[in-house]
Amino acid sequence: MTRVRFISADGSTVREVDAAPGERLLDVAQADGQPLEGTCEGQMACSTCHVIVDVTDFAKLPPASEPEEDMLDLAAGATRHSRLACQIYLGADLEELTVRIPSEVRNMQR
């Protein structure tokens, strides 16, 4: 189980949900009603699933692939700890993961 914590864009709301190993972060977020559109359904073409990962947790995730990095370069408000939620599968050994929803979203498919 991974305890996933979603922090709203303005920091005012924190939601915690438990996710099973192997679940995709985007699916967990959408099931919780988080405002991540995921328009391209994981094709790394839209960047609407962009999240900013907690600094400590960021280091625990497998590194982003080159296509993911390329898409993040175009994502609005991206930081050094940005990831695409459609590319993150929760590992069995990941106990917790905290991510923040960015305040701006740019859909690169439009």
- Which residues sit at the interface with ligand FES, rule CB under 6 A? 38-42, 44-49, 71, 84, 86
Mind giving me the DSSP string for 13-27?
Answer: -EEEEEE-TT-BHHH
> How many other CB atoms are there within 10 angstroms of residue 30's CB atom?
16
CA distance 101 to 110: 20
The nearest distance, CB 99 to ligand FES, in angstroms, is 13
Cβ-closest position to ligand FES: 86
Least Å from the CB of residue 84 to ligand FES:
4
**At its nearest, how many Å lie between ligand FES and the CB of residue 79?**
16
